[in-house]
Amino acid sequence: MLDGLSYDDSEPPSIGLVPPGTSWEDVRDHIKIAHNFLLVLQAGGEYAGAYWTGTDMVVLDELGTELDGALEEFREELRQRGEL
């Protein structure tokens, strides 16, 4: 499980904000157990969203470089994919 997660719960669903420098392996290990939605700041400064489908982790890249915009885009992608 990841330490130091903060959450954005300004609107549903609550999304965990992964601490900078966390490896994708650690993200996968966490999401496999917790099954929550996570937003990851990648090394290039772009956000990616991650979630568990029940059998595998899905990563949605190119959500933008601004936190608020990335959260909004991630939630919209989740709605469009029927994950909410």
The tens digit of pLDDT for each residue in 15-37 reads 999 998 899 999 999 999 999 99
Q: Which residues contact 7 (CB under 8 A, 6 or more apart)?
A: 14, 15, 16, 17
Residue 5: how many other CB atoms lie within 10 Å: 16
The 3-state DSSP class for residue 49 equals: strand
Tell me the domain boundaries of the chain.
6-80
pLDDT of residue 4: 86
List, in sequence order, the alpha helices (H) in the chain.
24-34, 67-80
Tell me how long the chain is. 84
pLDDT tens, N- to C-terminus, the chain (84 residues): 888 899 999 999 999 999 988 999 999 999 999 999 999 999 889 999 999 998 999 999 999 999 999 999 999 999 999 998
pTM confidence score: 0.93
Each residue of 38-50: b (16+ CB within 10 Å) or e?
bbbbbeeeebbbb
